[in-house]
Amino acid sequence: MKILVTGFEPFLSLTRNPSKEVLPMLEKEVNKEHLKTMVLPVVFDRVFDPVKEAIDDFKPDVVLHLGVAESRDKISLERVAINVKDARGVDNMGNQPVDEPILKDRASAYFSTLPIRKLEGLLKDASIPVEISNSAGTYVCNNIMYHTLSYLEQQKLDVMAGFIHLPLMKDQNKGTNKSMELRMIKEGIMRMIEYFLDES
Ligand code: PCA
């Protein structure tokens, strides 16, 4: 069982991103044979290249893409990625696409191929706040989820993949109460990784 877990660099007004900070914590607990982690650029047109390379070379059985969403107070398992780029702010290269398709003439949307209801149950059992979300937005997170699912389908690869949005970390909650301890975020992702390792 090989799992690829990706996080994102900081973007817009955020100086830290929990999806990046959690990666070394996961690496400490899981053998390198089973886990590869990567930090992705928050750039629409550059985000997929490193993932494609990792899918081709590392040959994961599972791809977990992680990112942060300030509006979330729970670990959010995304159900669907849509074929839309529509940014309210610029990406880290200054691009701000509006109403554009991610890939012309491809499917309108792809569903997560992760067992999201099962994963939701696992986290609930561990008292970790979790939800299934029906929109990954239209910024770079939705973009990478769409690209990865589209590529896996096109290449007919039997790989489970999806996206998980994380709340802000407790010490960066900008005065809202929508945040979670990084330790608990790590615990939640570890539960999912352990589930996949046990399944194999
Ligand atoms: N969150 C952004 C992009 C990078 C990240 O961590 C998003 O939700 O699209």
The 10s digit of each residue's pLDDT in 79-117 is 999 999 999 999 999 999 999 999 999 999 999 999 999
- Residue 57: pLDDT above 70? yes
Alpha carbons 12 and 141: distance in angstroms, whole number: 14
Does residue 23 surpass a pLDDT of 70? yes
Most distant pair of Cα atoms in the chain: their distance: 45
45 close to 95: Cβ distance less than 8 angstroms:
yes
Look at residue 176 and tell me whether its pLDDT is greater than 80.
Answer: no
The number of residues making up the chain comes to 200
pLDDT digits (tens, 9 = 90+) for 125-158: 999 999 999 999 999 999 999 999 999 999 999 9
| Average pLDDT value for residue range 168-182 | 84
Task: Please spell the DSSP secondary structure of 53-120, one letter per residue.
Answer: HHHHHH--SEEEEEEE-TT-SSEEEE-EEES-B--SS--TTS----SB-SSTTS-SEEE--S-HHHHH
The one catalytic residue in 21, 65, 78, 147 is: 78
Pocket (CB within 6 angstroms of ligand 1): 8, 11, 17, 19, 42, 67-69, 137, 139-141
Average pLDDT of span 14-40: 97
Residue 71: both structure tokens together? 């509006």
Q: Which atom of ligand 1 is nearest to the CA of 141?
A: 9
Instruction: State the closest ligand 1 atom to the C-alpha of 19, by its place in the atom list counted from 1.
Output: 6
Judge whether residue 175 has pLDDT over 90. Answer: no
Instruction: Write down the catalytic residue from 21, 65, 165, 187.
Output: 165
Confidence of residue 173 (pLDDT cuts 50, 70, 90): low
27 Cα–ligand 1 center, Å: 22
Check if 141 is active-site: yes
Secondary structure class of 3 (helix, strand, coil):
strand
Q: Report the mean per-residue pLDDT for the chain.
A: 96
- Evaluate if pTM is beyond 0.95: yes
Model pLDDT, residue 130: 98
